[in-house]
Amino acid sequence: MKLTRALSLVCILAFALLAASTPAQDQTAGPLRLPVHVHSARSSAAAGTNAAEDPLQVKRTAEPLATEACKYTFTTGSGATLMTYCITVNGNFGGFESPAGVEMLHQGGAFEGYGVCDFSTNAEYFDYAYTDSANWNAPILVTENSTEVKIERTTSDGLWTLTQVITKVTGMPPNAKIMMTLKNNSSVTKLVGLLRFAAFVPDHASASGNFNENYDGTGNSVWGYIPDFATFSTTSDPNGLMLQNVGGAQPPSISSPHSAFANKGEGGPHPCDSNANIGGTIINAEGSGVLFYAFQLTKEQSVTVTSRYIPF
C-alpha cells in the first residue's frame, strides 16, 4: 500500500494497524488539494506586500456558512485569573483571552476550527472560521447554558456528523474543554481522520504588526508562545496558549492514535494532508498547531475525543 509522504505519522500508524481489516481502501492516489492557494489577509497586512502563494495560506472565502463572528461567550475570573472566549455558530473559537488583556487567538482574524478526512475516498471536510470546505450542512444548536454549548453539524453528503460540546472549566489556570464526537453515518466501515487546528498568536500582534512567535508540540500537546526575554522584536508579553489532548477516546475499544504538531504558516491544513507543512520547533515565525486523531469506525459507529485550550 503506497502512502504519500505528506500523511502524518499518526495516519501511517493507523494504516499499519488497520490495513489488514480494510483491504478495499486504495491509497495510491495523493490527497486532494483544494484550490485555495492564496495567502491570508492577515499575512498580507503584516508584510505590507503580497506574500508568495502557499497552499496552506487560505484566504477568507465566500462560503455562506463560514464565519469568525462570535455567538456564544463564556467568562470566568478576573485579572490574572480571567478567561473569556467566544464560540461561533459553527463551533469555532472566535477569540481566547487569558489572563486579562492577553488575546491569544483573535489577532486580525480568528483562525481556529476542525477538519475531517475520509481516507476511503480522500474526501475532506473542514471549517477554520475564516474559510470552510463548503460541504457542511448548517449547524444545529443542541443546548446552551452559562457553562457550555453543544453544536451538531453533518456533512452535506450525509456521511459524517460532528457533535461538539465546549465547556468552561474554572480554576487556576482556567481552560476550555472540547469534546468532539464523530459519527460514521454510512453503511460501511471507514478509516477517518479528525483534527483540531489553531493559529496561536501573541497578545499584541495585531497592534504591532509582528505575528512571529515560537511553536512546538509533544505529540499530545501543541502550543504557541512568546518566551521571556524574547530575542525578536515584539511588544507582546511572555504568554502562551496550548491545545492539549485529554485522556483516551471513548469508547476505549476504538483504537485512537493521535499526534500534535506545529505547522509553518497560519493557514489551516488540508485534513487529508495535515502535516504537509510541518515545522517541528518553530522559532520567531508565523505558525499554527494541529491535534490529529485517526480511527476506524464501523457503520453508524461514533467516537468521542477530548481536548482543551489552556493558557500558560
For 166-186, write each residue's pLDDT tens digit: 999 998 899 999 999 999 999
Quick one: pLDDT at residue 33? 30
Instruction: Kindly state whether residue 55 falls inside one of the protein's structural domains.
Output: yes
pTM of the shown model: 0.83
- The pLDDT of residue 194: 98
Mean pLDDT confidence for 140-152: 97
Task: Give the count of domains, the chain.
Answer: 1
**Average pLDDT over every residue of 121-134:** 96
Q: Look at residue 2 and tell me if it is in a domain.
A: no
Dist CA 199 CA 266 (whole Å): 5
What CATH number is associated with residue 305? Answer: 2.70.98.40
* Residues 241, 83: Cα–Cα separation, whole Å: 12
- Would residue 20 count as lying in a domain? yes
**For residues 168 and 308, is the Cβ–Cβ distance under 8 A?**
no
- Host domain of residue 180: 9-311
Residue 65 placed within a domain: yes
Q: Render pLDDT for 246-257 as a digit per residue (tens, 0 to 9).
A: 999 999 999 999
Give the residue ranges of DSSP H helices in the chain.
9-18, 41-47, 205-208
In the prediction, which pLDDT does 204 show?
84
| 4 assigned to some structural domain | no
CA distance between the termini of the chain: 42
Grid cell listed for 307 = 481536548
d(CA 66, CA 135): 11
Task: Tell me whether residue 107 is in a domain.
Answer: yes
Question: In Å, how far from its chain's centre is CA 201?
Answer: 14
Question: Residue 80's pLDDT is what?
Answer: 92
Amino acid at 178: I
Kindly tell me if the per-residue pLDDT of 79 is higher than 70.
yes
pLDDT of residue 64: 59
Cα–Cα dist 160/297, whole Å: 11
Rg (CA), the chain: 18
Q: Residue 281 falls within a domain, yes or no?
A: yes
Nearest Cα to Cα of residue 190 among 135, 258, 119: 119
pLDDT at 21: 36
What is the Cα–Cα distance from 105 to 183, expressed in whole angstroms?
Answer: 28
pLDDT at 178: 98
Residue 112 falls inside a structural domain: yes
Q: What is the pLDDT of residue 132?
A: 95
C-alpha cell belonging to residue 226 = 512568546
Confidence of residue 87 (pLDDT cuts 50, 70, 90): very high
What integer is the mean pLDDT of 205-222? 90
**pLDDT attached to residue 102:** 94
User: Confidence band (pLDDT; 50, 70, 90) for 23?
Assistant: very low
182-197 tens-digit pLDDT: 999 999 999 999 999 9
- For the chain, give the mean pLDDT: 83
Mean pLDDT of 224-229: 91
**pLDDT given for residue 36 in this prediction:** 29
Q: Is residue 58 a contact partner of residue 36, using CB atoms and an 8 Å limit?
A: yes
Q: Determine the Cα–Cα distance for residues 268 and 90; give it in Å rounded to an integer.
A: 16
Cα–Cα distance measured from residue 294 to residue 255, given in angstroms and rounded to the nearest whole number: 8
Residue 131 has pLDDT above 70, yes or no: yes
